[in-house]
Amino acid sequence: MLNFCPQCGSKLQSGFRFCPSCGGRLPEDLPEAAAPQPPEPHPHSVLSTVSAMEVDSAGDSSQSALNRPILHSTWRNTLSSPATHSLGEFKGVCGLKCIECCFISDKTSSMSPRKHKASPQVKDEEAKQTSSVIQSPCKMHFIEDRDCITFLYFRVCAVEPVPEGTVVCDQSSKKWKLVELLWQTELDLTYAVCQANQHGDSNDCKYMLRLGAKEGYLFNEQNFHLRAAKPDAVEKWLKLHKLDFLGIPSCVGFGLHEAYRFLVFPSMGDTLQTVMDEGNNTLSEKAVIQLALRLLDALEFIHEKEYAHADIHAGNIYINTDSYTEVFLSGFGHAFRFCPGGKHVEYRQGSRTAHQGNINFISVDSHKGAGPSRRSDLQSLGYCMLYWMTGSLPWSQLSQTSSAIAAEKERYISDINGLLSGHYKQKKASGALQKYLSNVMSLQYTEKPDYTLLKAGLHESLQKMGGSLKESLNLQVTHIPIFT
């Protein structure tokens, strides 16, 4: 019998304890619908597990191997995923009216990739996002409200580094050697890797490996690449649209290692977040427009494949540091199939976990728990462009709850001039950005954007600056006087 997640509506195999799509803990009794149950694959076969996945018409995946031990994980407090549960729901977990046993660490999560060896401190903006959470002696943070507990959680895995030199084997029996840990977040680890029969240091590695929880967001990302981003589909798109480059990374291998899942990609360079962290300032308008044009090409591709990215920010954007002309969009852990079979999903608040993704840049729809659509990605890109140009957003410097941030974003949807005017003091607001935001904020939930129009406006501004997409990105940070 197939079950359905009460939070996001994903189809689930019987026996699931956590939803692989939204990460939510499932109640014991779920609504059922009659459907044939596929044969269970060999528990140690990654390839059979993947081939046995059944992706439903809504784009959410079900995994058949369910009787595995629970991964060492923790529900860690952050403003990314608020929810309200009655006290009775958790009775029986530890025998008390609390969920202390579900929490292992109360350390605040940091969502931006960090250079492992540099270990920089968490930025002020990220610290302020969780400043409103009330500390408690328990392993959870909660705010008691009458007869229920409202708490803020985000399911993240206690990902601990795997020793460098470890060899992992993917689903095609290809072996990869972990050479150097490049970045680490509380969700995943990124290593420079090479094939096990090759020798060399991290500078010679032509591949990178992302490693995270077995049932975490990498499962959703793996499913996206298997369904929508195969190399032959990307190559066909390039020829059809006569493009010289498309920033969709190619997944060349995936598999399981102990309690982790991993994906292997050709090396994509450094994240844009790394550049921003090192410069600690803003990018030129010319560089931002070049980035946006490359990202719009990638978004148009995944939208045509019926998916929304749903978590666009600098940590999920890679720059090829060999040429500085190639921009990759990665991090498809929150990818959502908004148009299964050509039929757009209906707008329904609360159909997914609210506030998923980077809180500063997600769309208003994501804040409300509605399934992300094409306009969601384009809104997020607009917020990113404004932040890259000015170094701030109206809500990034305030200690607010996620709901307050969502309210600010919604207020500015119909006030583009107000959104821009507060960020430029001695410099005229970008006409290209203003035109882009005006077009994007007027989109309806199911409306298909005019990508040609959006890119034409940015191309026109880029040409006026004497720039083109063929030249290298000038990512040297600049300073624009702003006031907060």
Q: Are residues 288 and 398 in the same domain?
A: yes
Q: Structure pTM? A: 0.69
Q: Are residues 129 and 210 in the same domain?
A: no
Q: How far apart are the first and last CA of the chain?
A: 55
- Note the pLDDT of residue 280: 59
- Note the pLDDT of residue 253: 95
Residue pLDDT tens, the chain, 484 long: 446 676 666 667 677 777 766 666 777 654 444 444 444 444 333 333 343 343 333 344 333 333 333 333 333 333 333 333 333 333 333 333 333 333 323 333 334 455 554 333 334 444 334 333 323 223 333 333 333 323 333 344 468 899 999 999 999 999 999 999 998 888 899 999 999 887 666 667 899 999 999 888 999 999 999 999 999 999 999 999 999 999 999 999 999 999 999 999 999 999 998 888 876 568 989 999 999 999 999 999 999 999 999 999 999 999 998 888 899 999 999 999 999 999 999 999 999 999 999 999 999 999 999 999 999 999 999 999 999 998 889 897 766 688 899 999 999 999 998 888 866 554 555 789 999 999 999 999 999 999 999 999 999 999 999 888 888 888 765 444 333 3
Q: Are residues 284 and 402 in the same domain?
A: yes
Does the residue 477 lie in any domain? no
Q: Are residues 195 and 86 in the same domain?
A: no
Q: Are residues 375 and 409 in the same domain?
A: yes
Domain that holds residue 385: 270-464
Catalytic positions = 311
Does the residue 6 lie in any domain? yes
Does the residue 483 lie in any domain? no
Count of alpha carbons within 13 angstroms of residue 388, beta-carbon side? 30
Which is nearest to 62 in space by CA: 22, 21, 32, 28?
21
- Note the pLDDT of residue 131: 33
Which residue type, as a one-letter code, is found at position 270?
D
Does the residue 260 lie in any domain? yes
- Note the pLDDT of residue 185: 84
Q: Are residues 79 and 51 in the same domain?
A: no
Q: Are residues 93 and 213 in the same domain?
A: no
- Note the pLDDT of residue 275: 81
- Note the pLDDT of residue 189: 93
Q: Are residues 79 and 215 in the same domain?
A: no
Q: Which of 102, 135, 157 is the last residue of a domain?
A: 157
- Note the pLDDT of residue 323: 83
Does the residue 471 lie in any domain? no
Q: Which of 231, 251, 266 is the last residue of a domain?
A: 266
Number of domains in the chain: 4
Q: Are residues 49 and 146 in the same domain?
A: no
177 beta partners = 167, 194
Which is nearest to 61 in space by CA: 223, 262, 260?
223
Contact 64, 13 (CB under 8 A): yes
- Note the pLDDT of residue 109: 34
Tell me the CATH number at 178. 3.30.200.20
Contact 325, 471 (CB under 8 A): yes
- Note the pLDDT of residue 61: 38
Does the residue 469 lie in any domain? no
Which is nearest to 112 in space by CA: 174, 190, 12?
190
Does the residue 122 lie in any domain? yes
Whole-angstrom distance, CA of residue 270 vs CA of residue 192: 11
Q: Are residues 153 and 9 in the same domain?
A: no
The answer for 59, left when phi > 0, alpha when psi is -120 to 50, beta otherwise, is: left
Q: Are residues 204 and 129 in the same domain?
A: no
Tell me the CATH number at 320. 1.10.510.10
Does the residue 473 lie in any domain? no
Whole-angstrom distance, CA of residue 473 vs CA of residue 328: 13
Q: Exposed (0-12), middle (13-18) or buried (19+): which is 354, by Cβ within 10 Å? A: buried
Q: Are residues 116 and 212 in the same domain?
A: no
